Amino acid sequence: MENRNFHQTWFLTRFSLKRDWLKLALWSVTLIVLFAAVAAKFTTIYDSQASIDEIVKTLKSPSMVSLFGKLSGSGPYTTADVFAGEMTVFMAMIAAVMNFSIIIKNTRGEEDSGLLEIIQSHSVGKLSNLASSLIELLIINLVIGIFYSLGLQFAGLSGTDTNGNFLLGLGLGAAGFMFASIAALMAQLVDNSRFAMILSYIIFGIMYIARMSTDISNPNLTWLIPFGWVEKFSTYQDNNWLPVFLMLGLSLILCITALWINNHRDIGSGIIATKPGRATASVFLRGPLSLFFRLHRTSIIVWIIGLMILGFTYGSIFNTIGDILKTNPTMAQLIGASAVHKANVVIIKHFVAILMIVFACLALFPGIQIINYLKTGESKGYLELIHSKPVSRSYLFTSILLLGIATSVATLFASMMGLYLGGMSVMKHPVEMSVFLNSFAAYLSALLVVLAISGCIVGLIPRFSSFSYLYIGFALFSGYFGKLIDLPKWVAKLTPFGYIPDVPVGKIDPGTMWWQLGITFVLIVVGYIGYSCRDLKS
């Protein structure tokens, strides 16, 4: 006899696949092409043992281990080993972003909009929507994993084998579904999609920091962290399938738990209830700026504290990075203790220069999320009450833009303070604060350009507001991987970050800063005119 709780699950699954086909296709094609293209690129970059040995030295340094994970196995390494070492953690991070966004929108997001209530008023089971969303993500992650594997088969990297190709491809697919399961559970614990997204990223951030710390201190402890399992594939070395089964097992437990909670709660509710608001509004809620701050307050605080902790964690390994030369007594004897210290500081500055693109891109997320509220708030009708009041569009646009800019700037500053404090906590002679302040100042203009692009899109063509997130992803990829995969320099210059010199190794370029500020001003004016002139919900 059919379980009525899952009645019409397959129908809803087919419906979801048809409804989301464009989004799923864009994500899938982007990830598969990126993965296969980088694999093909590696065959030309690391075509000799000398070049492979050189990059392996870099990947084994503490700074690279903290970013990409520990390189598995032992030498002699091949091109395939380098590819797996550089790409596994990065692709798992992108998989987390994709799965979080889709599963939360299709579950808790549909509850928020009232769509789920309409669906469940028909002859469908209570658990059918959640089950169909999980099946949809299982299918898309499996498809992506298979195409990853086939892409590696055709890329023809030196040192690959069929077992390793399918382990890496399907393992990343399993990691993606594990993240979908985590987000599905979070969507049942809380009673709104925004909090579910925040909670999912908090868990992801904790796992990332724990993975990074254990990789540096004791790699065996990484087995205790689900995100760290992707490093344990030991692809092309031992080809260990155990982490894949661990991820699938954890996913099964999380899915069953999510379904159980879903079956025992009412629509619109969660295990963790939202604290009821005040009976009367605060005197500070008299304008759009204070209202928007109140709406995004939790998200802003989480991002600022989260990036400060991430910065502190990276700063806490400065002693490990800076001690590389100190462990070489011959070098210390040759150039002297003072010169060794200066050399260590230079190494740390190079590491900070790499981290800057990561922190800048992460700091942009909350700012753009706030600016895009002009679109999401319109779509859901939340801004209708404000539009019905004597509040000009220019005031509304300016308020939300200022809040978005202030949030991103504060988040980037917090990450720099985290780096400084983390370095102070472990170093006898910590790096001066001016080093981090210079880095912060150098990236401000580029940060403003991206935020202005987001404001311009929301003002002119709000339906393309998601482009801003794609642009950040591209900036992160080109800045994070650009040098390692030998991307042409013009690719990096497609984003404003590509024009920033390697601060704090280099100096701030005032000319670059001024023309980027000029572009920022023009984009904001264009966005403002567009928002003032266009029809709402257009």
Tokens 């129908």, residue located: 11
CA–CA distance, 298 with 285 (Å, rounded to integer): 16
* Mean pLDDT to the nearest integer, 387-400: 85
* Mean pLDDT to the nearest integer, 34-61: 82
pLDDT at 76 over 70: yes
pLDDT at 69 over 80: yes
Interval 436-448: pLDDT, tens: 999 999 999 999 9
- Range name among 173-187, 252-266, 305-319, 450-464 with the lowest pLDDT average: 305-319
Angle 310-442-527 from CA coordinates, rounded to 5°: 95
CA–CA distance, 108 with 116 (Å, rounded to integer): 9
Tokens 């304008």, residue located: 287
Would you say 401 and 459 are in contact if contact means Cβ atoms under 8 Å apart? no
1: DSSP letter: -
pLDDT over 90, % of the chain:
40
CA–CA distance, 194 with 265 (Å, rounded to integer): 19
Supply the pLDDT for residue 60: 83
Supply the pLDDT for residue 407: 95
Supply the pLDDT for residue 95: 93
Residues in the chain: 538
pTM for the full model? 0.84
Q: Torsions phi, psi of 273, nearest 5?
A: -80, 145
Q: Would you call 477 exposed, middle or buried from its count of C-beta atoms within 10 A (0-12, 13-18, 19+)?
A: buried
pLDDT over 70, % of the chain:
94
Strongest mean pLDDT among 166-180, 343-357, 495-509: 166-180
pLDDT band at 229 (very low <50, low <70, confident <90, very high): very high
Compute the mean pLDDT over every residue in the chain, rounded to the nearest whole number: 87
CA–CA distance, 20 with 39 (Å, rounded to integer): 28
The two three-digit tokens of residue 433, written as one number: 């604060």
CA–CA distance, 198 with 196 (Å, rounded to integer): 5
| CA atoms in the 13 A half-sphere facing the CB of 509 | 15
The neighbouring-strand residues paired with 20 are: none
Interval 520-532: pLDDT, tens: 999 999 999 998 8
Question: Considering only CA atoms, which of 140, 124, 179, 131 is closest in space to residue 17?
Answer: 140
The neighbouring-strand residues paired with 272 are: 190
* Mean pLDDT to the nearest integer, 219-230: 92
Supply the pLDDT for residue 335: 55
Supply the pLDDT for residue 329: 57
CA–CA distance, 442 with 311 (Å, rounded to integer): 17
pLDDT band at 147 (very low <50, low <70, confident <90, very high): very high
Question: Considering only CA atoms, which of 322, 530, 352 is closest in space to residue 440?
Answer: 352
CA–CA distance, 88 with 98 (Å, rounded to integer): 16
pLDDT at 517 over 50: yes
| Sequence-ordered list of residues with C-beta below 8 angstroms from that of 321, at least 6 positions apart, any chain | 61, 62, 63, 344, 347, 348, 351
What DSSP line would sit under 418-484, residue for residue?
HHHHHHHHH-SSPPPHHHHHHHHHHHHHHHHHHHHHHHHHHHH-GGGTTHHHHHHHHHHHHHHHTTT
The two three-digit tokens of residue 139, written as one number: 């299918």
Would you say 395 and 288 are in contact if contact means Cβ atoms under 8 Å apart? yes
279: DSSP letter: S
CA–CA distance, 343 with 340 (Å, rounded to integer): 5
pLDDT band at 1 (very low <50, low <70, confident <90, very high): very low
157: DSSP letter: -
CA–CA distance, 158 with 322 (Å, rounded to integer): 34
CA–CA distance, 352 with 439 (Å, rounded to integer): 8
- Range name among 24-38, 396-410, 412-426, 484-498 with the lowest pLDDT average: 484-498
Crossing angle of helices 393-426 and 433-460, in 10° steps, is: 150
pLDDT at 302 over 80: yes
Supply the pLDDT for residue 167: 95
* Mean pLDDT to the nearest integer, 374-379: 83
Which stretches within 326-392 are classed as H helix?
329-335, 337-371, 373-379, 384-387
Helix (H) or strand (E) holding 178: helix 162-189
Would you say 84 and 165 are in contact if contact means Cβ atoms under 8 Å apart? no
Task: Say how many C-beta atoms besides its own lie within 10 A of residue 47's C-beta.
Answer: 12
Supply the pLDDT for residue 58: 78
* Mean pLDDT to the nearest integer, 132-161: 92
Q: Where are the beta strands (DSSP E) in 134-279?
A: none
- Range name among 172-176, 266-270, 322-326, 433-437 with the lowest pLDDT average: 322-326
- Range name among 12-21, 273-282, 323-332 with the lowest pLDDT average: 323-332
pLDDT at 325 over 60: no
Strongest mean pLDDT among 182-191, 273-282, 465-474: 182-191
Supply the pLDDT for residue 332: 56
pLDDT at 333 over 60: no
CA–CA distance, 219 with 214 (Å, rounded to integer): 5
Supply the pLDDT for residue 289: 84
Tokens 């030196």, residue located: 158
